[in-house]
Amino acid sequence: MDLQRIALATGVELDVAIAGDPANPPIILLHGFPESHRTWRHQIPELARDHYVIAPDQRGYARSSKPEGVESYKADKIIADLMGLADALDVKHFTLVGHDWGGAIAWGAAILHPLRVKRLVILNAPHPRVFQKSLYDSRDQRKASQYVNTFRNTALDQGMTGSALEHFFASGFAQHVVGGIGGEEKAIYMDQWSQPGAMTAMLNWYRASSFDVPKPDEDVARPAELDAPFPPVTQPTLVIWGMQDKALLPMQVDGLPPYVPNLSVVKIEDGGHFIPWEKPEAVNRALRGWLAAEV
């Protein structure tokens, strides 16, 4: 992988892993929280055999730019980064793949830019309308999503260095990983999270989001807008889902058909939330089969 520093028209600079022949069909991979392009370390070499692979460290992560302020991490700005990255690399249209927060950006980009996002792949990232509905309709999903309110607490990342980072790794991250995380990988996370402003920038993605997460037993009125029409995802879409995900429950997959007419689903029964590297063989097999069928 070739890690390049690319300045975007949006004013940020991103470190971007690039692999494969630029003459091949482009595919852009968007990681989620609290990771980097390394989310895709098992997919990049596989896809690079016949694709032009682009995997950025998104704004706020690793050594990419970390603009100040919560407003800098709203979805429209991050989607603008994605389009700016494609422009910088002279990529007119592409297959878009997203995991976790990268998947949230991918859903939005597919809806807003259907002429550029030709195909969509989502891994354990909820559709925005399905997710918000579930936070009102399902107490189980509401309970599982309380970490969002924790991450929005601005006291969380104050002085988070050294032992505090170690504690976050152990309690807020590693315990959600099926199969654990090795020492070498932990060292990479510690290095990336230790970059100046990184923890605040990463958590600002949660703080900038508009999702309302009621408390588990809170008696709240269900917004009428949740039943209003929502723009469909018109592209061929593959959803790969680790069914052991404790934060995003299976209802996130079950609720998709009304919003995604051209939908394929692959369920990885023994996979957790971080399936790109927890279950790389299964993910690569699903990607390969679907991409070949959609040519």
User: What is the chain's pLDDT, residue by residue, as a tens digit (295 residues)?
Assistant: 679 999 999 999 999 999 999 999 999 999 999 999 999 999 999 999 999 999 999 999 999 999 999 999 999 999 999 999 999 999 999 999 999 999 999 999 999 999 999 999 999 999 999 999 999 999 999 999 999 999 999 988 887 777 888 888 888 788 888 878 878 899 999 999 999 999 999 999 999 999 999 998 888 899 999 999 999 999 999 999 999 999 999 999 999 999 999 999 999 999 999 999 999 999 999 999 999 997 6
Q: Which of 190, 240, 200 is nearest to 40 (CA)?
A: 240
Q: Which of 132, 140, 94, 136 is nearest to 235 (CA)?
A: 94
Burial class (CB in 10 A: 0-12, 13-18, 19+), 51: buried
CA distance 13 to 89: 13
Residue 219: partners with Cβ closer than 8 Å, 6 or more residues away? none
Query: Is the CB of residue 242 less than 8 Å from the CB of residue 272?
Result: yes
